[in-house]
Amino acid sequence: MGSAQPYSSGPAPDAAKYERARLPIGRATMPPVPHLEEHRDASLANQMAAAQRVMELFVTRFDPRELPQSYPPENERKERAFAELSRCVDETSSQFSPGVDRNIVLDHVANEAVALGPLEYYLDDDSITDIYVNSADCVLYEKGGRLCVAPHTFTSPDFLYLAAQRLLAMQGYTAEDAPPQTEVRFSDGTLIQVILPPVAVGGPVLTVRKPRRNFPSLSDLVEQQVLSNEMAEFLHQSIEARRTILVAGPTASGRTTLVNALLRLIPDGARIVSVENTAMFQLTQRSAIALETQPESAFSKAVTSEALVEHATRLRPDRLVVDSLMDGAALGFLKATAGGASGSMGVITGLSAQDAIRRLEQLALLGQNSSAGGALYEQIARGVDLVIVLHRFGNGTRRVVEISEVCGATSRHVDIETIFTFDLTEMGNFGEGGGRFAPSGYIPRFYRELESGGVNLDKNIFND
């Protein structure tokens, strides 16, 4: 059994104790070279060239002010635009390259003229999780954890700008009075960030995050090698024992996926209150309540996660689940968990358990007197039991790379003990991150407490 690793705001008395925090997944390696998969071919290039010819003719005949200005489009304007587009396709079809399908070209230009352009091809594709419009001729998407160059793009910057205007109209804005950064949400949970010039230097930038429809279970994650059987068994016991868990990692590391798998383990009847920026938690318990933040719009003021966490504590939750511990929401989460909402879960940014605790402390200090450091360490130790850290590797693989227990606190630091790690042995040609899951040999304190209370647990999972 190793000694607990303290986190302290001051200088480290022994640098060796902090080596695990600096390298949470094993030895140092060169990061993988980013790789874009190209999904364009000659036939698609010919279709895009044909679409550009059609739109060049279309804009000379059709007043842009008569195009749909909202999304979804108004039927009358949509029908008039489609009729003119069909005529333009017929008149330019003699210039198309051999093999170009008229109907495919018409479908593409119709999407641009009346809807969201190439986004329409990818919004309904459940295998695509994120879409990035960096410019009119550069659209990327993420599929299976890999970043791909999209075959369909906008035919001109003007139609990208028109798509941005339609999204802004959903929030009650026009391009003239919209803030430079606007968040737009669809009813299915799709979240779109719209950034306008002059903040976006080259033209409007769109970032689309689509909600996942089906989240894997904990056993599915074991099969996908996100974590080991021993880790899964330990987390199952932790949920049953109502341990409060921080799930940490960088953006897109699989934190929400893991939280959803853990939520399935909570029995029906527990009063769960969730607070999310975008509703993605799949709560099947009949006693669960889901709250979602709201961005500012022309119709209403913003509703922040800090305000919702404060409100959630008044709903008397048995367990509080927060998808983004930011700003004052972190302090509200700590107050709730230290005050009795044991078995809660919070998602936070952090590359290691110590990094996550440091981040939690910094965020909590924003909401209270910064001189209350010692008391805050004690509050963190009372309010958080476990920290789970996930990483995403270069080929899109996600893994749990660290599970640690918060053992206690002094006036100067929070004590953390590592339970499981992912020992990285090689990065691999595609950044897949070869290695193995390994226990540290440390038996968590709450396991020992449960055993002394007569609960029979398998402690062999902590042996390497």
CATH topology of domain 5-27+213-462: Rossmann fold (3.40.50)
Please write down the long-range contacts of 286-292, taking CB distance under 8 Å and 24 or more positions apart.
289/315, 289/317
pLDDT of 455 higher than 50: yes
Residues forming beta bridges with residue 147, ordered by sequence position: 142
Entry pTM? 0.80
Q: What is the pLDDT of residue 23?
A: 42
Least confident of 9-13, 78-82, 379-383: 9-13
Mean pLDDT value of segment 173-196? 89
Instruction: Write out pLDDT tens, residues 223-262.
Output: 999 999 999 999 999 999 999 999 999 988 899 999 999 9
Contacts of 275 (CB under 8 A, 6+ apart): 291, 292, 293, 305, 308, 309, 312, 320, 321, 322, 323, 329
Helix (H, G, I), strand (E, B) or coil at 401: strand
Contacts of 351 (CB under 8 A, 6+ apart): 24, 248, 249, 250, 389, 391
Instruction: Write out pLDDT tens, residues 49-64.
Output: 999 999 999 999 998 8
Contacts of 280 (CB under 8 A, 6+ apart): 189, 211, 212, 256, 260, 323
Residue 25 has which token pair?
Answer: 């997944």
Domain spanning 37-209 has what CATH number? 3.30.450.90
Residues above pLDDT 70, as percent of the chain: 89
pLDDT of 448 higher than 50: yes
Read off the pLDDT band of 7 (50, 70, 90).
very low
pLDDT of 30 higher than 60: no
- Domain positions in the chain: 5-27+213-462, 37-209
Mean pLDDT value of segment 349-371? 83
Give, in order, the Cα–Cα distances in Å from 90 to each of 57, 86, 309: 11, 6, 57
pLDDT of 82 higher than 70: yes
Read off the pLDDT band of 76 (50, 70, 90).
confident
Residues forming beta bridges with residue 399, ordered by sequence position: 391
Residue 74 per-residue DSSP state: P
